[in-house]
Amino acid sequence: MNAPTPVSSTPFLRTALLWFAAVIGVLLVAGAVGGLLVAGVEGLISALVGVLISAVFLGITAGSILIANRWFGDPLYVPIFFGIVLGGWILKLVVFVLVMLALRGAAWIVPGVFFVALVVSVIASLVVDVVVLMRRRLPHVSDTTLPTDPEEGERTDDAHPSGSV
């Protein structure tokens, strides 16, 4: 049995995760400094929490797709893929609501700093995705394989093999 060809999204997702990890490092430092300057220690903590929440939730999506891609080639790949990815999204939604409820009234959270850190992190993630996608070169279209023999396949007109009438 031939090994299945890798899914074309896997290299893209791995690269995006690596770039996003580097961007998160920069955002953690920038957020810590900015939060400290704007609102003291509470601002620093708020910025760090906002960036980390964004990183975890955005990482869950890419991670779940990478995990689901391991079943590529299996007859049940599509239901497994959508089950894992949808499960990740539901997990993110439930955890996000619980985290926001837990942080709602916390004295050590500065809402403005937290919000800005969260939004900047999400925008940075989108920029990373766009840059990685624009730099990505695929040698073929999707995960399609073409026949090796041009004579294979269906013919519509045997009288005119060139296709002209």
- String of DSSP letters for 133-144: HHH---SSSTT-
Task: Name every residue whose Cβ is closer than 8 Å to that of residue 82 and which is 6 or more positions away in sequence.
Answer: none
- For the entire predicted model, the pTM comes to 0.72
pLDDT at 17 over 80: yes
Q: Rounded to whole angstroms, what are the CA distances from 82 to 20, 91, 115, 123, 133?
A: 24, 14, 31, 25, 22
How sure is the predictor about 1, in pLDDT bands with cuts at 50, 70 and 90? very low
pLDDT at 36 over 90: yes
10 Å CB burial of residue 55 (0-12, 13-18, 19+) is buried
Percent of the chain having pLDDT more than 90? 45
Residues 58 and 48: their CA atoms lie apart, in Å, by 15
| Domain residue limits, the chain | 9-135
The residue-averaged pLDDT of 115-128 equals 92
* Residue among 32, 45, 44, 27 at smallest CA distance from 122: 27
